[in-house]
Amino acid sequence: MNGDAVAEATAKPEAPRLPPRWVIRFIWRGHRLLYRGTAGRLGLRRPSPGKAAGMLRLRTIGRRSGVERAVMLCYFESGASLVTLAMNGWGSDDPAWWLNLQARPDASVDTVHGTRPVRARAATADERRALWPRFADFPGWGDIDSFVAARERPTAVVVLEPR
């Protein structure tokens, strides 16, 4: 291999283009508004492999404020646990909800089946290897490998276990 071929082979893959940050934030806020405005009748869904990831509302306690925070997340089921990614609109920083869960892992989720208490943790290395391919079953996540490769830090696979 010549020098150009080596540099090309070791270059970081280019991430798919993302919309501007304000668009991503607008969509997040709109989703939360839809959920609140319909008293929870709209905005949540069950995962449907091959079609779409599920949508849940995660409620955490702020690590500094002590105030309840809520966020809408995509997920899929693995046994009795719910699995999601700690992503921040594919930005380089970890999302605040993941930082809150690392400080206080007990939380609750609202799903189409109701509210339930959960305990959050990062997937172990073996779990991550087993769970990662399942994200491809849900096209809504897009080209997840390209997005993750472009991030400056690893993306945690978060397991929400029933308490």
The pLDDT tens digits of the residues spanning 69-78 come to 999 999 999 9
CATH number where 127 lies: 2.30.110.10
* Count of the separate structural domains present in the chain: 1
Q: Tokens representing 39?
A: 């008293």
The whole-angstrom separation of Cα 55 and Cα 72 is: 7
pTM summary value:
0.83
Nearest-5° angle of CA 141, CA 147, CA 152? 140
Does the residue 46 lie in any domain?
no
pLDDT bracket for residue 63 (50, 70, 90): very high
Mean pLDDT, all residues of the chain: 86
Q: Is residue 57 part of a domain?
A: yes
Residue 47 domain-assigned (yes or no): no
| Distances in whole angstroms, Cα of residue 55 to Cα of each of 4, 18, 103 | 44, 21, 24
Q: And the tokens for 94?
A: 């970890």
What domain range is 83 assigned to? Answer: 3-40+52-162
Q: Is residue 96 part of a domain?
A: yes
Q: Specify the amino acid at residue 94.
A: D
